[in-house]
Structure 1
Amino acid sequence: MKIGEKIKEARVNKGLTQEDVSKILHVSRSTVSSWEVNRTYPDLDLLVALSDLYDISLDVILREDTQMVKNMVNETKSSKKRRRWIIALLIIFIPTILFLGYQLWNASLVISPDQIESVRIEVNGNSLNSESEVFVTINTDSLHEYSGHWIEKAEHDDTLTLQLYQSFKLTEKEQETVSIPIDFTSPDGSQTEINKIEVKGFNPSDTEIIFDSNK
């Protein structure tokens, strides 16, 4: 006796209709009908569910139906292969996604050129010195706020380079002017010569320089 005939007989003995079984197992009535005429086979999980519903052992259902047993073996093998492929893909893609996510997160903490509204340098007298200051007006969204800066002078250059940073923090303030004192003291304690300041990503020609001899 084929499996379809066995589960149909078991259903009838339980006094259930195909509609009843379809609702209990959350499948369509046509699916139940297809099983019972041996057009298709239930998968292993549904087969176990049918066994429990009809109070009939899997051994009884599968006995003599060699095709069903063969299908289940093939399905199990395919399932194992799929599982191996999924694990391999996860091993490859998860580190890549994490790395890209870290790069995006890290990039979001650097204030980009389009966030810089203006740069103004107030100079003491006619030259840059330790009393000069850079005023940078930046635009941040509602998730970020200014968190600090990095400033560096190249060893064989007279340019001071400034990089601004932001951190994740909910804030209603979208525009902020940051005042940055210019400190370009060399390791030996002497003042190094600086002729210009560049804010990374911002065109130096757009920088406003104010000379104040009273500072």
Structure 2
Amino acid sequence: MLTLHTAEHLLAGPGAAPLPGGAVLVDGDRISRVGPYEELAAEFPHARVRRWPGVLTPGLLVRGADVLLERTYYPDDPYETTELGAEPISGAEALAALTMTEARWGNSARRATQKLLARGVVAVTGRLAIPAVRTAVARSGLTVLPPAQPSGPPSLDPFAGRDAAEQAFYGALEAGVPARFAVFAVPDVRALLEQGATSCVATVIGGRLLHRRR
């Protein structure tokens, strides 16, 4: 089925000018066309339409997945937060006190990947050593890339420490590429850094809507 995703602004990639009323036409797991919504809607009148508020961009990239997923524990809400608190736990001493097992690491990684998807993330870099963590990431749909030079402490927010929002983009939106993009409920592109990735309202990977803010 063809699906037409449109937002108030579309930013196709680094260096591209924002396109008011832009849209992405998805056919299966790939982008078929990118352009003004009115033109694509007229050419493909039977496509399902998803209208989003804000800015539609390429999906985001997070560096340091090994630190975020294998050296940071995410308490299970609500079952553990009364005892452990809601904030992620890191540091060798604190993790040792949790008596971590592979299964527990896998469950923590599953919660972390949901947080990443909720921030528009479609890809991560790092070398994952724990099998249960690798399984959780594979099932999430996130792409795992080789380790990359860190640009600051690893963060769940891909915009953290960036000078421009485009620095966090993974790829660009164009015909023929995998359908990986995100939508942020911000008034314009300049507000992306100011409001951060938690403004994400939708994340699409492989043409599938994997996160939608309720």
- The TM-score range, normalised by the shorter chain, is under 0.3
The structure that is strand-richer by fraction is: 2
Give the TM-score of the pair, scaled to structure 2: 0.18
* Higher-RCO chain (CA-CA 8 Å, sequence separation at least 6): 2
User: Which protein has the larger Cα radius of gyration, Structure 1 or Structure 2?
Assistant: 1
